[in-house]
Amino acid sequence: MLELKNIAKSYTTGNFTQKALDDVSLSFRQNEFVSILGPSGSGKTTLLNIIGGLDQYDSGDLLIDGQSTKDYSNRDWDTYRNYSIGFVFQSYNLIPHQSVLNNVILALKLGGLSKSEQKTKATKALEEVGLGDHIHKKPNQLSGGQMQRVAIARALVNDPEIILADEPTGALDSKTSTAIMDLLQQVAKDRLVIMVTHDPELAHNYSTRIVQLHDGVITADSDPYEIKQHLAGNPPKKQSGMSFLTALGLSFNNLWDKKARTLLTAFAGSIGIIGIALILALTNGVSQYITDVQEDTLASYPLTINSEEMDISSFVNMGESFSKEFEEEANKGFSDVRISTMGLEAEQQFNAGLQENDLKSFKSFLEKDNGIQEAIGKNGVNYTYPLKFKAFTEDEDNQWIDTDTVMDDDKQSNQFSFDFTNQDENGKYFNQLTSSSDAVISPMIKDTYDLVDGQWPSQANQVVLILLPDYSLLPEDAVSIGLMTKSEYDDLNSTIDSGDEVKGPRYSSDEVIGHKYYLYPEAMNYTKQSNQTFEREDELPNKDKIKSDGIELEISGIIAPKETDSAGPVRGPIAYTSDLTDEFKQVTNNSSVVKQQSENVDTNVLTGLPFEAKDDNEKAEQGKDYLENLTDTEKVMAYFKYVGDNEEANHTANDSANAMDLSMLQADDEEDDVKNSPLIGLFDEWVDNQASKDDFIQVYHDELADYNYEDNMKNFGAIHDDQPESIDIYTDSFDQKDQLSDAIERYNDEAKDGKEITYTDFVGLLTTSIASIINVIAYVLIGFVSISLIVSAIMIGIITYISVQERTKEIGVLRALGASKRNTTTMFVAENLLIGITSGAVGVGISYLVIFTANYVIHHVFNHPEISAYLGWKAVIALIVLATIITVIGGLYPARSAAKKDPVTALRTE
Ligand code: ADP
Ligand code: MG
């Protein structure tokens, strides 16, 4: 059944070639006990390895069941070793970290038996060699003879046809040797046993046939055998292989056996993971902190879009270029007298930078369901409507005060404001508290302001006094809102001028809370004339009328910004709620002028004429009508505009006033001069007799054509829900704010010419730098992270490599038992998988300890309780997976090198 034909095998080391086997031909019977006898180095082991398929012959052929093995694949050899061959070595070659039972089971694992079958079979094999009581011991707890019995049990467990024993008693004393030889003799009863020995006595005593080997050549054979008739057919090809679970179990035992070392390896491998975990935890903590700060910041700084917006950037650039020009010219030195045009240019650029925003279209865009909602924070959108009113109050001396004008002859309020565009000076000390989509007073307001006394407004007529963060008011504001009298203010100023020590007056909450104001809406200034048209009263109504007709307000509480370094989002000193806006809207829209205008959309209620003249006749008629109704002052001005290009007029003009002065004729004290002007007569004369129809049409176009319904309503102070004066959009994070900017950009891309929205992003100026710093930090951290990952991978590679070196012998044994190259790779991959999971777990565990400590230090030593490093469970899983992947990848190359190990060399390694 086994036949060697002219087998030759030689080893070449350097330029020396050693013929280990030289033309060996030998046949074996199915059942005999053959001893291969020969001195050391005669080629016995080589012969045995070739027979067992561990080593490959150079030339000749090995016939198994009459079948040539010349074309055997690796897999065929693995199967052959696993099922047909049982190896017994001089040095036992047991796997030290596996129990006796498992060492035997290992040979079965490569087959396809169930777990319980494997156990039963292995136990039976061990009982047969007399080790039934020792199956749970580790090999190093056994004597040499016992270990060799385990090896024999392992060789027998698969019930192979051939047992190959390489000096099985070489390491044993004579008594134990005898017992082992007895055992082998027993085994040889029903199979082929080929034993290598250099002990002739043993050979003679136990074997049935002795083959002498010398320098790779057979010198004697006591019972030669020649196969006459070859058996037909292929050897049974059963599958040989190790399942991944087997490899995992094997690895687990090995790692468990070396617990301390495994932990140390896992710890070393986990350093990278700890690094990442800590960076992650800190980044988490810091970004959470930044998010909080963002929310705080963005709560007070919404993106504000005003109906009229100044392009600040062009303004800033202009300032720079002017100061550069100034310096250049100054440095050139004098050559001649230069006229500077800077001021003129500045004015031109300022006007060019002023943009009208169509907030009506933009508001409807905001309210449409178009994705922009995602860019809006929890404080929502706040719409402010222009309230046209004048506000009055009484100071402590019962002096009746117009809040807008009481300080006019002194310096204006110093209150800092970005708002270049608020040209309406009426009601300037009254501003609306930001509302949100579902609250009259936005939660943001209650977040950013403390109620220091009284109540938040709960009704339309309640307002709050807003103090500066140091609970003070500017004196100008205090006078304007009637808290301090004008004379107290003047006294204060003269004290300061005299250099004496000054002390501002103080007011108790009682003096403030309950203070009353009277709003007089602009619409109330229009009264109906006998001709059914409306006219605006030049004079303000008296105190009693304002008190009875106006809207009465009362201070209900005092608030101040929580943060001392910011004035807060709402301009003071008095703030009302959106409830008042609603009431104001009611009052105004119910006023007779607004009512009549809204019922007569085509007719200008101020003139009784249609907004748009139908034809030239109507235009001329309206133009003439307009000129006839001008005041004297206006007539003089109109004269210069439409008539005064003749000599007579110029001459006459010089008599009364020059043209420059006339253009400024608004002040009352010059009115008398105008009354006497001969130009008025000339003008009337022109209108009545000289002006042509075309002149009147010209007047219509110049003066009347621009009037329209919307302008009138605006002038009356009527409020349209869809026409806010400004829009505040709140976001919760910088990301969201960017999203918002993108959305507005999208809107602008689609908007028709002139409908684009311009706005100044004050927070943007502040935050882009923060965002870029965070990005840079993130990149640096990612850099560190990747370095530590690479280090981890390399280290695991080295450790696996060492482990492979260390376990060379084990690899050899497994290969001898029939494990394939792939199986050995799998084993090391499985081992690295376990190490990876362990190092991930160790890393996460250590990280948690460090994070816990770090948080304590951050909170108690650095006093930053708002920053907490933390690691979420998703990160934990990700890190363990990462550690595992890195470890497996790091160990892949050495694991593959293990597979490439030649089993013979591996077995020879001690
Ligand atoms: P034995 O088992 O009879 O002592 P071996 O079969 O181990 O002898 O070795 C036979 C010869 O082949 C020896 O001279 C040995 O030095 C040589 N030899 C065996 N294996 C190798 C090898 N891997 N490389 C080089 N020479 C080897
Ligand atoms: Mg040998």
Q: Nearest ligand to the C-alpha of residue 42?
A: 1
Beta bridge pairs of residue 308: 356
Tokens of 562: 């929580």
Burial class (CB in 10 A: 0-12, 13-18, 19+), 625: middle
Residue 40 Cα: closest atom of ligand 1? 4
Cα of 18 to ligand 2 centre, how many Å? Answer: 15
Probe residue for ligand 1, chosen from 10, 11, 36, 910 as the CB with the greatest number of ligand atoms within 8 Å: 11
Model's pTM, two decimal places? 0.56
Q: Which ligand is nearest to the CA of 89?
A: 2
- Give me ligand 1 centre to Cα 46, in Å: 7
Whether the CB of 212 sits within 6 Å of ligand 1? no
Nearest ligand to residue 908 Cα = 1
**Reduced DSSP (H G I as helix, E B as strand, rest coil) percent helix, strand, coil of the chain, to 5:** 50, 15, 35
Look at residues 181, 3, 182, 159 and name the one whose alpha carbon lies nearest to residue 86.
Answer: 159
Sheet strand arrangement including 726-729: 303-306, 726-729, 381-384
Q: Where are the beta strands (DSSP E) in 178-334?
A: 192-197, 209-214, 217-221, 303-306, 308-310
- Say how many Å lie between the CA of residue 130 and the centre of ligand 2: 27
In this structure, the residue with its CA closest to atom 7 of ligand 1 is: 45
- Residue 814 has φ and ψ, to the nearest 5°, of -60, -45
Residue 239: predicted pLDDT? 57
Give the residue whose CA is nearest to atom 27 of ligand 1. Answer: 11
Residue 45 beta carbon below 6 angstroms from any ligand 1 atom: yes
CA distance 209 to 201: 13
Q: Does 9 sit in the ligand 1 pocket, CB within 6 Å?
A: no
Ligand 1: which of 17, 21, 45, 212 to mutate, judged by most atoms within 8 Å of the beta carbon?
A: 45
- The number of beta carbons lying within 10 Å of the beta carbon of residue 30 is 12
- For residue 46, the ligand 1 atom closest to its alpha carbon is 6
Closest residue by Cα to atom 26, ligand 1, is 11
Where are the domain boundaries for CATH 3.40.50.300 in the chain?
Answer: 2-240
Q: Is the CB of 40 under 6 A from ligand 1?
A: yes
Q: Sign of the CA dihedral 42, 43, 45, 51?
A: negative
Judge whether 887 and 794 are in contact, CB under 8 Å: no
Cα 171 to ligand 1 centroid, rounded to whole Å: 19
Spatial neighbors of 460 by CB under 8 A, at least 6 apart, are 576, 577, 579, 580, 582, 583
Tokens 């080629």: give the residue.
43
Tokens, residue 390? 């004048």
Q: Which residue among 18, 36, 215, 905 has the greatest number of ligand 1 atoms within 8 angstroms of its CB, and so is best to mutate?
A: 18
Would the CB of 809 count as within 6 Å of ligand 1? Answer: no
Pick from 291, 285, 281: which is nearest to 735 by CA? 291
Tokens of 398: 């019962």
Ligand 1, atom 8, lies closest to the CA of 41
User: ω into residue 894 within 30 of 0, thus cis?
Assistant: no
Give me ligand 1 centre to Cα 276, in Å: 52
d(CA 434, CA 453): 20
Residue at 587: amino acid letter: V
The alpha carbon of residue 19 and the mean position of all alpha carbons in its chain are separated, in whole angstroms, by 69
d(CA 490, CA 642): 48
Select from 42, 47, 167, 905 the residue to mutate for testing ligand 1; criterion: most ligand atoms less than 8 Å from CB.
42
Ligand 1 atom 6: residue of nearest CA? 43
CB contact at 8 A, 80 and 235:
yes
In the numeric block, the tokens 């796997």 are attached to 95
Below-50 pLDDT ranges, the chain: 410-423, 653, 655-670
Is the Cβ atom of 13 under 6 angstroms away from ligand 1?
A: yes
The pLDDT tens digits for 559-609 are 998 877 666 778 779 999 999 999 999 999 999 999 999 898 888 888 787
Q: Please give the backbone phi and psi of residue 222, each rounded to the nearest 5 degrees, phi first.
A: -70, -20
| 43 Cβ below 6 A of ligand 1 | yes
> What would be the CATH architecture of the domain defined by 2-240?
3-Layer(aba) Sandwich (3.40)
Q: Which atom of ligand 1 is nearest to the CA of 38?
A: 3
User: Contact 51/4 with Cβ under 8 angstroms?
Assistant: yes
- Rounded to whole angstroms, what are the CA distances from 101 to 121, 132, 256? 10, 9, 17
Helices (H), 757-820: 762-806, 808-816
Q: In degrees rounded to 5, what are phi and psi of residue 428?
A: -75, -15
Q: Which atom of ligand 1 lies closest to the CA of 904?
A: 23
Between CA 673 and CA 655 the distance in angstroms is: 11
Q: How far is CA 295 from the centre of its chain?
A: 16
- Residue 206 is encoded by which pair of tokens? 């136990």
Confirm or reject: Cβ of 792 under 6 Å from ligand 1: no
Count CB atoms within 10 A of the CB of residue 419: 12
CA distance 461 to 518: 10
CB-CB contact of 663 with 634 (8 Å): no
Question: How many Å apart are CA 766 and CA 296, to the nearest integer?
Answer: 14
**Listed residue (167, 191, 110) closest to 820, CA to CA:** 110
Phi, psi of 459 (to 5 degrees): -130, 165
Query: Which sign does the torsion angle of CA 882, 883, 884, 888 carry?
Result: positive
Nearest residue (by CA) to ligand 1, atom 17, is 20
Tokens 């290969």, residue located: 815
Cα 44 to ligand 2 centre (Å): 6
Contact residues for 82 (Cβ-Cβ < 8 A; gap 6+): 107, 110, 111, 158, 238, 240, 817, 818, 819
Q: Please state, in angstroms and as integers, the Cα–Cα distance from residue 439 to each residue in 381, 578, 719, 891, following that order.
A: 11, 9, 20, 62
What is the distance between the alpha carbons of residues 1 and 230, in angstroms, rounded to a whole number? 8
